Amino acid sequence: MKPQAGTDGIRGASPEGRRGPTVLRVAALLVLGIGYLIGARSLYQEWRLDFKWAPPTALPPEMSRNVAAIRSRMPDRSVIFYIQDPPDYWLSGLWQAALFPSRVVVVSGVGDLRSGRFAGLLAEGPRFAISAGRPPSDPGLRWSIPLSSLSGFSPSYEFGELLPGTPSADAERTPGR
């Protein structure tokens, strides 16, 4: 068989033969472009929906009121001991997030607070505590205020300034400022 003119004996080497790969490339680019457009449209719709219906905060309203009461009674970026008995790790994490940038040190009971592990923090100056429990334990507070319980959770809360020294159930208390 005689080769056709201009093909040098290779089938598809002529300009007419390259038409197939070009059509495939254009089709592939068209499919990718349509995919990007559909994806961008879906992303826009999801973001619009998410930001339109998202709550303004992840904190319950009671927690926001409690945080405002705490912040009004203590200096910025103070150390706060969160004394919990029994431990509830989810709630302690919620308090840590709500009180950021203040440092919240989670403690499992009054005995743990005065065990010596926190002596350096307690010696630095006025320190504050949130006591959580049923009823909240008394770590020895100079003054205290009750905080609102969170909806659906059982612990009661009390906030105040820690007295220096060892805790006492009979610690002298003065009303909140």
Q: Are 80 and 167 part of one and the same domain?
A: yes
The answer to whether position 119 is within a domain reads: yes
Q: Are 14 and 74 part of one and the same domain?
A: no
The answer to whether position 120 is within a domain reads: yes
Structure confidence by residue, pLDDT tens digits, 7-63: 555 555 555 556 668 889 999 999 999 999 999 999 998 888 888 777 777 788 888
Number of domains in the chain: 2
Percent of the chain's residues with pLDDT above 70 = 80
With 0-12 / 13-18 / 19 or more C-beta atoms within 10 angstroms meaning exposed / middle / buried, residue 28 is exposed
Residue with tokens 């909240």: 136
Residue with tokens 């706060």: 80
Q: Are 91 and 111 part of one and the same domain?
A: yes
Q: Are 31 and 68 part of one and the same domain?
A: no
Q: Are 101 and 121 part of one and the same domain?
A: yes
Structure confidence by residue, pLDDT tens digits, 121-159: 777 766 899 998 888 888 888 899 999 888 777 788 999
- Picking from 35, 170, 167, 136, the residue whose alpha carbon sits closest to that of residue 159 is 136
- Picking from 113, 115, 111, the residue whose alpha carbon sits closest to that of residue 81 is 113
The answer to whether position 106 is within a domain reads: yes
The answer to whether position 3 is within a domain reads: no
Q: What DSSP assignment string belongs to 74-120?
A: S-TT-EEEEEEES--HHHHHHHHHHTTTSEEEEESSHHHHTSSTTHH
b/e code 80-102 from CB counts within 10 Å (16+ = b): bbbbbbeebeebbebbbebbeeb
With 0-12 / 13-18 / 19 or more C-beta atoms within 10 angstroms meaning exposed / middle / buried, residue 147 is buried
The answer to whether position 70 is within a domain reads: yes
Q: Are 67 and 50 part of one and the same domain?
A: no
The answer to whether position 2 is within a domain reads: no
Q: Are 42 and 106 part of one and the same domain?
A: no
Q: Are 73 and 145 part of one and the same domain?
A: yes
The answer to whether position 103 is within a domain reads: yes
Is residue 138 within 8 A of residue 170, CB to CB? The reply is no
Q: Are 49 and 76 part of one and the same domain?
A: no
Residue 80 domain boundaries:
61-175
The answer to whether position 26 is within a domain reads: yes
Helix, strand or coil for residue 5?
coil
Percent of the chain's residues with pLDDT above 90 = 21
CA distances, 9 to each of 2, 15, 16, 18, 21 (Å):
8, 14, 15, 15, 20
Q: Are 105 and 164 part of one and the same domain?
A: yes
State the Cα–Cα distance between residues 62 and 149, nearest whole angstrom.
7
